[in-house]
Every structure is written in structure tokens, then in C-alpha cells.
Structure 1
């Protein structure tokens, strides 16, 4: 069951980590990268080692964002039974992800964990990463892709307007690469403005329409909006059920849905199945 909402939590803030386990997030991303000063990362690793060991089994999924420059230290601290996945920051090419896979495999073997259980989600944050997106998507353990848009904007020299149209090409690249590689729909970037929930809703709806399957958050107040947007409404579910019922009655051929003037073929039916799958999630 893929998350709709992913909440970033600084890896050195014990109280925030504890509260996050009872938040509305489908998944948590405990941060060992930009959210933690370099001098505090050793303390954060020790804290996350304990936190993962105490994690309740029925809470949100738990991921950790690791820093490429401290990959071995970060992975050694967090590869534990309570870890679901690794977010790899600043991925420019697939070589880094092959290093992650090799290190995860070694640590899983050493610690008696099922080999391959820990998933990986890279963050593409540069022009170089975008140019290598297909190879990145094909790397081992890949579950879903994501964009690190703050770094990408700086790298490309963009000046995004209020509607973010300047980022549409990069976002579409990630969606297309995910589909081509057979990955889950990518996760959308966080909004740094956690007070303007109307804008958050509009931006999140646009990401959903573009093909994203969820979104990261930096504050618990953002989670209800993200969860709602990425959950199909009752009307959407009912429409999908009508489409599939009509398609089934047509024995796999194109058929009209009564009263709508809409023709349904396999492509339309596939989209309807995706809606119902998200609703069941």
C-alpha cells in the first residue's frame, strides 16, 4: 500500500520523531541530510538507531533520508528491522544507487534481515540527474522517484512563478520515467509554506493531475490536505465502478457507458482500475 503523504522529520529531534509516529502521515522520512546540521549528524544517527528499534509495528511506514557524502555511516546506523526504505538525496546517476544496493545487501545479510526488503527512493535534484533519469529509475530496489526541486531550481537557474509552470517539464520527466520503468507513481515535492492550505490544495491537485501518487510534507498541518487530494472521492469511485461494469458487460470490447456519451476501451478501464486501487489504499 503506497503512501499518499510523506512527512519529513529532523533526525536529531527526539520529541518530533515521537510525535510523528502518531501523525496523519502515511509514511515518515527521518532526515539525516539537509534537515540536520553536519555537526549534529552523529547524534542523529544514534537517536535513529534507538528510535527504529522502538518503532510500533502499526504506525506509519518509516524511511530515512541519507546523505551521499556519509552513505556508509548513515546506512550502518539505520538498517534495522524497523526500517522500510531509504530516500537517497542528490542522486546524479545510477552508480550511487548501485552502491546503496550493495551496502544494504551486506548489512541485511550481516543483521539477519531479508535481503532486498528495504526499498529505495532517490531524489533527483540536478540537471545531470534529469539527463540520467531512465538509468536511475532502472536501479535496484527502486520503488518510486522524487524530485528535489529547491536544488534543481538553483542548478538550472530557474525563477519559478507562483504557478510553478517552469517546473512542469522536469515533473513530467519524472512521471514518464516512472511509468516507463514500471515504478509506482512518483512522490511530489514539499511546499515550504505550511500555513497557506488553500494554495497547498491547489498545488497538490495539480500534481495529482500530472501523474504523481503522493506528496511530501514538512509540517503535520499539511497532511490532511495531501491525504484528501490523493484519495479518490465517492463520485470518482462511483464513476470508475460504472466504467468497469460497462466494460465487463462488453466482454473486453469498446462499449458506451449509458447516459454519459463516453466510450470505454481497455485504456479507460485501466485508469478506472487505478482509481479503485487508490480508493482501497
Structure 2
């Protein structure tokens, strides 16, 4: 991942761009990544203020989380947003309502801005936030956009466009989630980032819905409040027991292969084959 650790984040904390008093606190919140929001969280008359505050944060970024900016997709704001935030300290941008044509425009603008700012070509990563029917239907093309390192999903906007009325478990959107997970895996991207939990005070619900996202193939989630970060990080971090079990599975198969066998049976009676070990290796890769 450009401008940051190769380990993709588990938690992406939104912070309103124009609330600069919250920026440094967000960076030190324990979130792996912070998204300075120049879009939905910012009133129309505060867009310029938000750009200035984000640029100020990037001038002297405090040690802590990687910093991203969520830009506006509307042409009236997109160019100014990108021009304000491109810098060596910026990990990348989140592009809402991501569709192939918009991503192509973002790539072109970023290329020019990187040259002007002395940023290495292609260093500014993009997370494509899928919030439209076209974005979901053309997700394979979205994944092929050269700067896209990860997909996100904005279910509130998407549900509105599709005229869905999701229940508390968002069952009506599970098909979309699977499509996003499949497209990410097929394109070799990091597993996608799940949507926010709007019940910011309900820790039990946050844990349950984040665990569901983990089971569905997501490995990160956006957060609206710092209090959500510890729960999200905990769910997406393997427990010591999971790490121990994964390590044992790898050892069992390795020993079987040394003896010329393709599979093995562990002490509990479970079949261990390369597919099982692949899942175990993924657990170890996520361990921090």
C-alpha cells in the first residue's frame, strides 16, 4: 500500500474535515487509518475550511494512523479537494460513488498533482467506495482502476438508490456484499472494508455486525466514533487461540508432506489439506 504499512488496516475512522480540533485525536484513537471527510460530514459552506484543515494536518502529520481523505465526487468540488490534499503525507483518497469513469478522472488528476507536489508517481492510493448500482454492476472494472487498492461499501446510499428497506441485519444487501468480496479476491485486492455501524453507543450490536462482516469476507470496517475502534480492531484481529490453532494446522500438514502425503488428520480428527491450511495462513497473516 502506498505511503504506509503493507498491512491493510482493520479500522478506518471518519473525522469531519472542518472539525480540525478532532483531527489529531482521531490519529491517536487507535484506528489503523483515519479518513478526513471532505464529503458528507461537511456542510456546503464549510468545504473550503475542510480542505484547509486537512492540508494543515498533512503538513505536520502526527505519528499514528495513516491519513486518507474522502473527496467529493461532484465536479464542483472534486478538483479542489484533490488539489488540497495531495502530499507525501497522504496515504490516499476514498472516492465515493465510485464508477469507472469517475476513477479514470481521479487517476488523471492525481497523476498531474503528484508531479506538481513532488510525490512519486502512483503513490496516492484509492479506496473505491461502492454506493451506486452502476458501481456494483461494474465492480470488475472498478477493481482494474490502476490506483484502487481496496473496495469499500456505502450501504445507506446504495440502499436508497436501489429502493431497498434493509432490516436490522441488512439481509437485503448480503448479495451485494458477496459480489464485492468476490470481485476483490478475483482482482487480488485486499479484502474489502465494511460499512459503518450507525448505532455508535451499542457495543454489543457493533460486535455482532462486525463479526458478521468478518464471516462474509470483509477484513476491515469504517467507524463513525473513536469508541467503535477497539471493538472493530478486536474482531478483525485473530485471538491467541486462533493463532495457536492455525500454527498447529500448518505444522501438521508440513509434517505430512515431509512424509510424502498430500493430506493429514490432526489430533482432533479433522482433515488437514492445502485448502484448510490456506485459511490458517490467512489467520496468521492477520495476526498483529
Normalised to the residue count of structure 2, the TM-score between the two structures is 0.94
| Matching residue within 253, 257, 269 for 2:277 | 269
Q: Is the 8 A contact 2:104 2:145 kept in 1?
A: yes
Q: Does 1:33 align with 2:39?
A: yes
Equivalent runs, 1:194-233 vs 2, <5 Å:
194-233=200-239
Contact 2:238 2:286 in 1 (8 A): yes
Cα distance, 1:64 vs structure 2: 0.3
Q: Which residue of 2 aligns with 1:68?
A: 73
Alpha-carbon distance in structure 2 between the residues aligned to 1:229 and 1:89: 25
Kept in 1: contact 2:130–2:154 (CA 8 A): yes
What SS does structure 2 have at the residue aligned with 1:144? strand
Q: Does 1:89 align with 2:81?
A: no
1:79-138 CA deviation, whole Å, 9 max, x = no partner? 0121001100111x2121111111111111111111111110011111121111111011
Kindly indicate whether the alpha-carbon contact (under 8 Å) linking 2:82 and 2:110 is maintained by their aligned counterparts in 1: yes
1:120 — aligned with what? 126
Structure 2 CA distance for aligned equivalents of residues 29 and 178 of structure 1: 21
Kept in 1, the 8 Å contact 2:264–2:273? The answer is no
Residue 84 of structure 2 corresponds to 77
Please show how residues 3-152 of structure 1 align to structure 2 within 5 Å. Answer: 3-56=9-62, 58-69=63-74, 70-91=77-98, 93-152=99-158
1:256 Cα deviation from its structure 2 partner: 2.3
Query: How many residues in Structure 1 have an aligned counterpart in Structure 2?
Result: 278
**Larger deviation, residues 146-155 vs 109-118:** 109-118
* 3-state secondary structure, aligned to 1:250: helix
**Secondary structure of residue in 1 paired with 2:87:** coil
2:171 counterpart of 1:156: no
Distance in 1, Cα, partners of 2:64 & 2:14: 15
- Whether the 8 Å CA contact 1:243–1:257 is kept in 2: the answer is no
Structure 1 partner of 2:4: none
Q: Deviations over 1:205-255 (max 9, x none)?
A: 000010001100000110110000000001110110011001111228532
Shift of 1:257: 3.5
The CA RMSD over aligned residues, in Å, is 1.1
Which consecutive residues of structure 2, in runs of 5 or more, have no partner in the other structure?
Answer: 1-6
CA contact 1:254–1:264 (8 Å) conserved in 2: no
Question: Following the alignment from structure 2 to structure 1, what is the Cα–Cα distance between the partners of residues 69 and 237?
Answer: 25
Per the normalisation by structure 1, the TM-score is 0.96
* 3-state secondary structure, aligned to 2:257: coil
The alignment partner of 2:214 has SS state of helix
Instruction: Give structure 1 stretches of 5+ with no counterpart.
Output: none
Question: Are the aligned partners of 1:122 and 1:146 in contact in 2 as well (CA < 8 Å)?
Answer: yes
Structure 2 residue corresponding to 1:172, chosen from 174, 178, 182? 178
